[in-house]
Amino acid sequence: MSRPDRRRRYWNEPTMGWWERAYLFEILRGLSVTGGVFTRNLWRWMTGRKGALTTYYPEEVRKDFARHNRGKHVLTQRPDGSPQCVACNMCATVCPARCIEIEAIFDPADEAHPKSPSRFEIDYSRCIFCGMCVEACPEDAIRMVPEVPNLPSTDRHHMWLDMDELLNWRPQSDVAKPYPPAPRRDGGDAP
Ligand code: SF4
Ligand code: SF4
C-alpha cells in the first residue's frame, strides 16, 4: 500500500490571514508598489534625471562593485616586479572551465625560482569566476579583485587576458608583502 504524499512543513512557514487569502487585495498592493516605482522613475526620466538602476552600457560602466566581488584575476609580483607564479600549473589543473593556459620557462641562474611563466592567459569567455584557481595556488600568485574587465566583444578571442594585463595590478597596500611601485610614465626608474 502506497503512503499518501506528505507535504513537508517548514519551520517558518507563513500563516495567512483572511486578507491575504482573498488574494485580490494583495495583488492590488503589489500593483501599487510596482506602479509607484514605475511612476517615480518615469518622472525622473522626464525631468532629466536618472531614475532606475539601469546601467546604459556601453555609455555607462558600473563602478559600484561590492567589496567582495571577484570579477578579475591578478597575478601578484615579487618586490623586483617579477611574477610570483612558479608555473606549477595547479590553477590550470583545478580550473573546471579549463580556461587557464600557462607556458613555463626555466632559468637555472635563478636558484630560488628557476621556473616562471612566459605565457599566462585566462579565457574570460569560459571562466565561471569560481575562484578555485586562487584556492589552489600554493604561492599566493593569483588573486581575484572586485573590478571587472571590459569584456564584451563580438570576437571571443578578444576575451583572453594576457600576462601584461594580469600583472598590471598595483595595490595601494598589500597585507601579505611589500609591493613594487608602478613604473614611471616617463620611462624612468620608480622613486
Ligand atoms: S575562477 Fe574558476 S573558472 Fe575562472 S579561471 Fe579560476 S578556476 Fe577557472
Ligand atoms: S598561479 Fe599559482 S597555481 Fe597557478 S601556476 Fe602560478 S604558482 Fe601555480
pLDDT in tens, 28-64: 999 999 999 999 999 988 998 877 777 777 777 777 7
Same domain, yes or no: 87 and 47? no
Atom 5 of ligand 1, residue of closest alpha carbon: 127
Q: How far is CA 17 from CA 22, 25, 32, in A?
A: 9, 12, 20
Question: Residues 157, 82: one domain?
Answer: yes
| Residue 157 · residue 167 · CB < 8 Å | no
Domain of 47, in residue numbers: 18-52
Residue 88 forms part of a structural domain = yes
Mean pLDDT over 107-113 rounds to: 90
Q: What is the CATH number of the domain that holds 86?
A: 3.30.70.3270
The answer to whether position 140 is within a domain reads yes
Q: Is residue 184 part of a domain?
A: no
The ligand 2 atom nearest the CA atom of 83: 6
Are 76 and 29 found together in one domain? no
The protein residue whose alpha carbon is closest to atom 3 in ligand 2 is 137
Output the CA 84–ligand 2 centroid distance in Å: 8
pLDDT at 185: 58
Total domains in the fold of the chain: 2
Q: Is residue 98 part of a domain?
A: yes
d(CA 117, CA 107): 11
Domain contains 57: no
pLDDT digits (tens, 9 = 90+) for 167-181: 988 887 777 777 777
Query: Does 43 share its domain with 76?
Result: no
Pocket test for ligand 2, best of 74, 75, 78, 90 (most atoms within 8 A of CB): 90
State how far the Cα of 147 lies from the Cα of 176, in Å rounded to an integer. Answer: 20
pTM of the model: 0.70
190 belongs to a structural domain = no
Q: Is the CB of 85 under 6 A from ligand 2?
A: yes
Q: Which of 62, 53, 126, 58 is nearest to 96 (CA)?
A: 126
Distance from the alpha carbon of residue 37 to the mean position of ligand 2, in angstroms: 48
